[in-house]
Amino acid sequence: MSVKSFDQFVEGCGERVSEIPAADAVAMFGNGDDLVYLDVRESNEWNLFRIPGAVHLPVGRVREGVRDLIPPGRRVLVYCARGGRATQAADIMRELGYERIATIAGGVHAWYDVGGELDQ
């Protein structure tokens, strides 16, 4: 059995997880759509900047902690810095029964690049 690299693992998850363009995520935010933005970056990254109102749960804690923060029926947009960890987290959430999840293509950096607001 061969060991997969992180990039190979994320690529495999990407086949099971939906991704939306950052511009669409920013528009949804601006429209006030009822959804949760889940930031799965590490605390040191979260402390620098984040999408306003986002929920923070590092990717390594998603499996055991997400149900305490977000009910499975909620619509969730998962993001990280550029997209890899968000894909991994969304795939874990899918395994846990979350059906209304997607990632933000390009992560929080793409969000900012298309004019998305950030809290610091």
Instruction: Output the CATH code of domain 6-113.
Output: 3.40.250.10
Q: Sorting pLDDT into bands at 50, 70 and 90, what band is 5? A: very low
pLDDT in tens, 65-94: 999 999 999 999 999 999 889 999 999 999
Summary mean pLDDT of the chain: 89
Amino acid, single-letter form, for residue 105: A
- Rounded Cα distance between 20 and 23, Å, is 8
pLDDT recorded at residue 90:
95
pLDDT recorded at residue 65:
98
Structural domain boundaries of the chain?
A: 6-113
Computed from CA positions of residues 85, 12, 91, 24, in that sequence, does the dihedral angle turn out positive or negative? positive
SS3 call for 55: strand
